[in-house]
Amino acid sequence: MKKLYTRWGDRVHFLEVIVRQAHPGPHAPTYHTFGQKFEDARRYVEEEAIPWPVLVDDLEGTVHQVYGGMSDPTYLIGTDGRVSYYVQWTYVPALHQAIQRLFAQDGRGVVNEGINSGVHMQPALTTGWRGLRRGLPQSVIDMETAFPGTAVGTWIGYQMRPVLAPITQRARPLPRAAKVGLAVGAVGLAALAVSRMRRSSEEV
Amino acid sequence: METRNEIKESGPRASELFAGMHRRQSVDEYNFDHFRTRHFLYDARATKEKIGIHPGALAPDFTLPIASGGTLRLADLRDRPVVLRFGSPS
């Protein structure tokens, strides 16, 4: 998101609305008052050095719920005040393309069919841990209970971010050639692993 | 410091937006204590069912306090496009 801001921050208003603790824990307790929520939002802005305005919704998440109540949606709104595009998981490459299209059509109107409804979990692989670690240890226990392996997965992804981030955190869509390359690479690695397993089982 | 946000009438009415959408959550349901499988499943289903404000619709206006001070009204930002993200610190 910061990459997107660096690219478009001077031509597009960026806003973030704080909704609720997605992964609560002892150091990131569930909000019970608006004051507590507001304080936590301030801490978040400081710790993550967020350069855009961070707004604090009321305790019930009134604005959030009107907009659908999803965990991590992002709307692109045109200069006519209408929704031009909607990405349910704040998928930055899709947003980047949508912003480009929006400027190509004078800053208004629906772009790229208006909605991206892919379940984009890839960015969370390297950034998920940043949120999850605030709620330690309960956030991880809850996450592992809900979906075994996912919390550990984000921890590993976070440790490997120097290698993975160029792919998972990219601001622009991968060129088709790169996608094909990655797919071929993955198939190659899998084939190599299978042949090694076969060889080692033959040796036994 | 309790505030309630008023959804302004210049956009679609909140009640209209909720028609056909999933029912609204209570304050305790909304601020859950434990992340559960169903929370993710809601998101995945909401993604597939394209729940939310539909493209082409007026973005409901709101005025909210800014964490670093002051307040901001969405409708005041018509000079440029807006990227509006809903997020959580954790």
pLDDT in tens, B11-51: 444 445 544 445 678 888 888 888 888 788 887 887 777 77
Q: Hey, how many other C-beta atoms are within 10 angstroms of the C-beta on A31?
A: 24
Q: Which of A12, A33, A59 lies closest to B83 in CB terms?
A: A12
Q: Does A105 touch chain B (CB under 8 A)?
A: no
Q: Is the peptide bond before A166 cis (omega within 30 degrees of 0)?
A: no
DSSP state letter for A48: H
Global pTM value: 0.78
Q: What pLDDT does residue A63 have?
A: 92
Q: What pLDDT does residue B5 have?
A: 52
Closest C-alpha among A60, A9, A5 to residue A31: A60
Q: Which of B1, B31, B89 lies closest to A28 in CB terms?
A: B89
Across the interface, do A67 and B60 touch by the CB < 8 Å criterion? yes
| Residue B3 pLDDT grade (very low, low, confident, very high; cuts 50, 70, 90) | very low
Q: How many angstroms away from the CA of A48 is the closest CA of chain B?
A: 9
- Which residues in chain B touch residue A24, judged by CB atoms under 8 angstroms apart? 32-35, 90
User: How many contacts (CB atoms, under 8 Å) link A and B?
Assistant: 273
**Which residue has better confidence, B67 or A21?**
B67
Q: Does A92 touch chain B (CB under 8 A)?
A: no
Provide the mean pLDDT of chain B: 78
Across the interface, do A69 and B64 touch by the CB < 8 Å criterion? no
Q: Hey, how many other C-beta atoms are within 10 angstroms of the C-beta on A6?
A: 11
d(CA A132, CA A27): 11
- Which helix (H) or strand (E) segment holds residue A39: the answer is helix A34-48
Residue B84 CA from chain centroid, whole number: 10
Tokens of A123: 């960015």
Q: What pLDDT does residue B23 have?
A: 62
Residue B2 has pLDDT above 50, yes or no: no
Q: Which residues of chain A have pLDDT under 50?
A: none
Q: What pLDDT does residue B79 have?
A: 96
d(CA B35, CA A145): 9
d(CA A137, CA A135): 6
Q: What pLDDT does residue A131 have?
A: 84
**Which residue has better confidence, B8 or B29?**
B29
Contacts of A159 (CB under 8 A, 6+ apart): none
d(CA A148, CA A151): 8
Q: What pLDDT does residue B20 have?
A: 43
